[in-house]
Amino acid sequence: MSGISYQKDHDSIVTLLIDAPDEPVNTLNAAFQKDLSEALDRLEAERDDLAGVIITSAKATFFAGGDLRALITVTPATAAPFFAEIEAIKANLRRLEKLGRPVVAAINGSALGGGLELALACHRRICLDSPRVQIGFPEVTLGLLPGCGGIVRSVRMLGLQTALPYLMEGKRLNPSEALAAGFIDSLASHVPDMMAQARAWIAVTPDAVQAWDVPKARIPGGSPSSPAVAAMLPVAAAMLAQRIHGNYPAPAAILAAAVEGAQVDFDTALRVESRYMTRVASGQVAKNMIGAFFFQLNEIKAGAGRPPLIGRSKVTKVGIAGAGMMGAGIAWACASRGVNCLLADTSMERAEHGKQYSENLLSKRLAKSKTNPDKVSATLARITPTADFAGFVDCQLAIEAVFENRELKAQVIAAVESAMPVNAVLASNTSTLPITGLAKSSKRPGQFIGLHFFSPVDRMQLVEIIKGQQTSEQTLAQAYDFVLQIGKIPIVVNDARGFYTSRVFGTYVNEGMALLGEGVPAALIENIGEQAGMPTGPLAVLDEVSLKLADDVLHQELADLAREGAPAAGIDSTDGGGVVPPAGGTSRRVPPAAIAVLERMVHEFQRSGRAHGAGFYEYPADARKSLWKGLEFFVNEEQCVTTADVHDRLLYAQAVETLRCLQEGVVESHRDANIGSIFGWGFPAWTGGTVQFVNHVGVRRFVARANELAKLYGERFAPPDWVLKRAEQDLEL
């Protein structure tokens, strides 16, 4: 029983102190199951001499949940033994709550997933009131469900209507929220108070029993057959179907397990839950999501992408050149994480306007009680507007965040660098312009790097770090540390036009325009994009980004190619509809059919996107946006693109371009490619990312389908050679 110590005091109260050896957290693994079983054997043997039991943790967290290293290995072939393991864990939890003595969970740290399930199997839950404590069921965010009694006990404690949002949305609650929700019975100001409360409750509740074990117990709010609940369930199912489009098995399984379990006795409900847990855990979507959102994301946060031999650094002051939307957002990201920053622009008025962005965000948070006046004042005090760069003299890092124009950026880079300390790092927030080219404006190219933030900065977690040809390892390490310091997710890529995220994301919107140019109805394109799991359709996305910007970037690319003397390479002019691109050559990124749509929308129809008042969508002041009826101009009733082809073209275009980025060394790890795709532009989370999507499909099947699309629609779908070799060997990527 090495992971659980058994301590009996003079009041005959046993404290089970959970402390998994050689592990940072306690997890619901085979070792814990063995230790718990042995502890229960002893508790049952000594029951007549027991007053009660307190379960707590020797670690900073109470209990972290299931062992994801084991869960990710479950397959349909091992489903039966996995089901038996879940049932064995539940049997022990039932032994605990039917011990015949009061059992209290003294929650000294976060109790998530299996940790909350363990706590719910206790008769009372007392939680330390600390901001570091989180309570909830996050399993659904990993493609799983609370499979050790969490669904069954939550429904019987709170009722179906109240419990389902906590189970299906993965909400993490602070102690006060958990108390209000009903998961926690009381809060404690410190550990001695928590333990004292536990002992006091045991003393006055010698015959504790779970509510569901009381004869004739009823589910709060009614069973699924009661009128109010029966009326709610079809609506809940329809809303869920609309949200997940059949891509995410876990939320549907949670709803089914909750409803079915509420119609049978408690122990049968546990078994129903186990069956659904086995189904989702042995499926591919859970493996995709666990791999991305747990293993790969944690590797990034642990510094997997930074040079390993360079010591950690911390920034205390940042200079930001440009107080527009991006600069203002970066200032918020810094100030909200305790980093002082100077927000500079061409006038004090413009700089003050940039600070207003943070003031507006904080006002909204204050109105929702998500912050307090003192924190608001402290955050705003960290942002200093300025009309010059003189204050950059003591900044360890400066970020250029002006308009995406090479000449303008060159001027700002030179001016900022002249005001900075000689050992400071200078970064450019650019989404497309090559860093090596921008570094020519710097006298210290080794200390120059790209930091590509995503809009809106306050909501988007990813930052793409771009290494120029001369960027030093020290500079890369400092940039990586800074991104982690402000609570963002860094991925590291090498320099190239569009880098990784903009280049691959562009294939989604470009493919949407190409489909439109080939005659596919816009509504079909948009709906299938969302059904595939993208946050929104490609045409709506481009409206938000700006068709005018896309057109400017396209013509900048063509001009650059002409200046570099490069051939008009990449896509044959007959691919995707036979539309001839504008003079100056063929884009390496944009299919000709998409170019034709873009040119007509911007120059002929004068519809440049939402910021300009009109794009693929209409934006009435008093109604929801809707597709512009003029898009019927592009519809070709004789086009023969199937809905399956529309779906696959939108996803495969992104996956194949990612594979090319890996082959070219633009992105160096599958980890950064997957996380970058999900957090950067919203590639469907159920896939595990653009690389894992290939494994999800199966490499051989993916290659066969990609080659089929290449024959039908153009060489942009042809997978690179290294993937063909993996397919020949039947190996995953």
Which of 85, 139, 273, 526 is flagged as catalytic?
139
Q: How far apart are CA 149 and CA 70, in angstroms?
A: 19
Q: How far apart are CA 463 and CA 501, in angstroms?
A: 10
**Which residues lie closer than 8 Å to 386 by C-beta, 6 or more apart?**
342, 343, 344, 348, 351
Q: Helix, strand, or coil here: 103?
A: strand
Residue 379 has a CB neighbour count (10 Å cut-off) of 21
**Residue 37 to residues 42, 66, 90, 122, 468: CA-CA distances in angstroms?**
9, 17, 11, 15, 57
* The pair of three-digit structure tokens given for residue 361, joined into one six-digit string: 């965000």
Which of 117, 464, 511, 557 is flagged as catalytic?
117
Where do runs of H (alpha helix) occur along 443-537? 473-485, 501-517, 522-531
Residue whose C-alpha is closest to residue 351's, from 389, 377, 408, 313: 389
- List own/partner pairs for 37-45 with CB under 8 A and 24 or more apart: 37/92, 38/1, 38/4, 39/1, 39/4, 39/6, 40/92, 40/95, 40/96, 40/99, 42/6, 43/14, 43/99, 43/101, 44/95, 44/99
**Residue 180 to residues 85, 595, 710: CA-CA distances in angstroms?**
33, 55, 56
Q: Is the peptide bond before 456 cis (omega within 30 degrees of 0)?
A: yes
Is residue 70 within 8 Å of residue 78, measured between CB atoms?
Answer: no
CA–chain centroid gap for 26, Å, is 24
Residue 731 has a CB neighbour count (10 Å cut-off) of 11
Residue 245 has a CB neighbour count (10 Å cut-off) of 15
Reply yes or no on whether 139 is catalytic: yes
Backbone angles phi and psi of 663, in degrees to 5: -65, -35
Residue reference for tokens 């306050």: 458
Reply yes or no on whether 518 is catalytic: no
Q: How far apart are CA 496 and CA 508, in angstroms?
A: 19
Residue whose C-alpha is closest to residue 123's, from 144, 93, 145: 93
**262 burial type by CB count under 10 A (0-12 exposed, 13-18 middle, 19+ buried):** buried
The catalytic site residues sit at 117, 139
